Amino acid sequence: MSSGESVNVAVVDIGSNSLRLQISEVKDKSYKILDDYKEMLRLGDSIYTVGYFTPEVINRIVETLTGVKKLAESRGCKNIRAIATAAFREADNMGEALIRIEDACGIKVEVISGEEEARLTYLAATANFELAGRKAVVVDIGGGSTEYTIITDGKLERSESLPLGCNRLMREFLKKDPPTSGQILEMKEHIKSAQAPLGLGRDINMVICTGGSMNNVAVVKHFKDKAVRDSNVKYVERSFLKKFIKDFSQKSYNQRIKTEGLEENRGDLILPAAIQSDLVLNETGVSGFYTLSGGLRSGLTIDTINKMGIELPFQNNTESIRYARLLEIGNKFDFDEASALHVQSLAKMLYDGLKESMDLQGRDWLLLEGAAILRDVGKHIAYSKHHKHTYYLIKHSELVGYSAKEIEMIANIARYHRKSPPKSSHEDFNLMTTADQTKVLKLAAILRIAIAMDRSHKGQIKSLEVKVKPDVVIISAKSKGDISMEIRDFELKKELINKILKRPVILT
């Protein structure tokens, strides 16, 4: 695949609870999800009762995959990569089911091991979390099994697949509705016994839970907080989880499904998953967990892209997944990478020289860095008013290593890299606190100057030195070649920084 070309890929994850399809467009060094389809097949209902797929269940799988294939083909996907997990691994008639599926709809399903499940989930985790300098455990709770992956300083240390899927646990232990305290206690002891050989200790400082049931716990929490945000990553405090478990332990299935945000098909599965996650938090002493939506299928998409001979930016930059994600998003929206990185470099020189006089510190540079790299992604939509399009694209992108508030600030900094400064009619800016508004203006002022220093997009200015004096700020530029365009644009862009610094800024 040559530069600038794109291809659509489709992956299918057939789990014990649900079948998930993800269709993505792959272009250069990035991909974006076009479709994400789910069907709750609950194959575990058959496997963990009779031990095999009944004819009706196989027919349902075939019918669903036939529809999935049509959807993928309508998106221009030439092939579908399909994997199956615990339910297929344990089905007495696995071979018969696989043959029937391939004959009926032309899809060859690969039954993967628990260890391969863990590796794929690890790929997804490293793409979505800053794991350098951390020791993390990823707990991928499916219907039939749970994969535990230990990550140290961003590297996969070890993984283990345990028969602790929520459908399996529910059917083995929680046989009454609502379950008795004795049943819950017995299930807890069973989980703890299975977890013990893992040696989950207090050296673990981050817990990531994946799988539909724990993602649904996070959705319920965010509904309760009135903070619903369409994000792949969410955070849930253990204090909420403990209340959730206590509440759901006392409710029947019909009472649970009235909970806002709860998927009806998970009303009986969510409690075993929540209890297992809480036991992990208890062993590690961590105060909460992150959820990652689409962990396994996201990892499968990344692995499929790798098999095409493409490595994504985060895989070549494990020191900073945050930075790699900025480049990945920039590539997704066809940014000028060379110009973006040069402006980022100029912005850093300006920031270092001005941070003390502008009262900037801590993570403020990371905000400016994000805005400098992504400032022009709005051109992907249209050049006209691209700064406004940039705000929207940044706000709705999955930036790694930034909080929701920081993403909003980055979007605003990039929004004000050109044209007029904020006005009373700019609602998104006015929703921020006064302190955040002030910081956005300071960083946007620096960004405007950095952009002016590369107006020709030729990288003529190699370095900048800033001298702050009581009555003036002098920026000295070392350059090669003609910088008349840069000088002219500086004169046009300096008004905001002059106002903030309360003294003239001159370029020499």
Same domain, 380 and 490: yes
What pLDDT is stored for residue 316 in this prediction?
74
Strands (E), 179-283: 206-210, 233-237
- With respect to residue 306, please indicate whether it lies within any of the assigned structural domains: no
What pLDDT is stored for residue 340 in this prediction?
95
Same domain, 274 and 337: no
Q: Domain count for the chain, please give it.
A: 3
Same domain, 122 and 107: no
Out of 92, 112, 132, a domain closes at 112
Residue type, position 393, single letter: L
- With respect to residue 481, please indicate whether it lies within any of the assigned structural domains: yes
Same domain, 120 and 100: no
- With respect to residue 207, please indicate whether it lies within any of the assigned structural domains: yes
- With respect to residue 162, please indicate whether it lies within any of the assigned structural domains: yes
The closest of 74, 78, 64 to 13, measured between CA atoms, is 64
Spans of the chain, pLDDT less than 70: 1-3, 228-230, 317-319
CATH number at residue 81: 3.30.420.40
Residue 193 Cα distances to 66, 189, 382, angstroms = 41, 6, 58
What pLDDT is stored for residue 229 in this prediction?
61
Residue 478: domain span: 320-507
What pLDDT is stored for residue 401 in this prediction?
85
Same domain, 75 and 93: yes
CATH number at residue 287: 3.30.420.150
CATH number at residue 396: 1.10.3210.10
Same domain, 92 and 122: no
Same domain, 91 and 119: no
Record the tokens describing residue 33, joined without a space.
């999800």
CA distance 57 to 92: 14
Same domain, 94 and 151: no
- With respect to residue 338, please indicate whether it lies within any of the assigned structural domains: yes
- With respect to residue 455, please indicate whether it lies within any of the assigned structural domains: yes
Tell me: the pLDDT tens digits for 169-225? 999 999 999 999 999 999 999 999 999 999 999 999 999 999 999 999 999 999 998
Please confirm whether the linkage preceding 179 is cis (ω < 30° from 0). Answer: no
- With respect to residue 423, please indicate whether it lies within any of the assigned structural domains: yes
The closest of 394, 490, 380, 388 to 445, measured between CA atoms, is 490
Same domain, 126 and 103: no
Out of 87, 112, 137, a domain closes at 112
Same domain, 263 and 344: no
Sign, CA dihedral 226-232-236-242, equals positive
Let me know if 76 is exposed, middle or buried by CB neighbors in 10 A (0-12, 13-18, 19+). middle
Give the bridge partners for 463, in sequence order: 478
Same domain, 478 and 333: yes
What pLDDT is stored for residue 320 in this prediction?
76
What pLDDT is stored for residue 3 in this prediction?
67
What pLDDT is stored for residue 233 in this prediction?
87
Tell me: the pLDDT tens digits for 363-386? 999 999 999 999 999 998 988 888
- With respect to residue 439, please indicate whether it lies within any of the assigned structural domains: yes
Same domain, 184 and 132: yes
